[in-house]
Amino acid sequence: MLWFWKKRGIRVLVNNTINLRDPSPGFTDSFVREARRQGRKVDYWRRGKADIVLLIGKTKFKDKMEHFRRQGAKFVQRIDGIGVEDQEHPEKNNYNYETYQKTDAVIFQSRFCQQAWQEFFGSTKPYTIILNGADELVFSREGEKEDFGFKRFIVTAARWREWKNLKQTIELFEALDDRELGLVVIGEDAQVPRHPRIVATGRLNHKQMARVFRAAEFFVYLPWFEWCPKVVAQALVAGLPVLCSYKGGTRELVDDCGMVVKGEKDHDLRHLGPNPVNLEQAVNAANTILQKRERIRTRPDLYLSKMVENYYAFFQKVLDNAL
Mean pLDDT, rounded, for 297-318? 98
pLDDT tens digit string along 172-221? 999 998 999 999 999 999 999 999 999 999 999 999 999 999 999 999 99
Q: List, for residues 260-290, the tens digit of each pLDDT value.
A: 999 999 999 999 999 999 999 999 999 999 9
Res 88 pLDDT > 90: no
CA distance 99 to 79: 10
Report all structural domains of the chain as residue ranges with CATH numbers, in order of start: 2-133+303-319 (3.40.50.2000), 152-300 (3.40.50.2000)
Global confidence as pTM: 0.95
Beta bridge partners of 182: 153
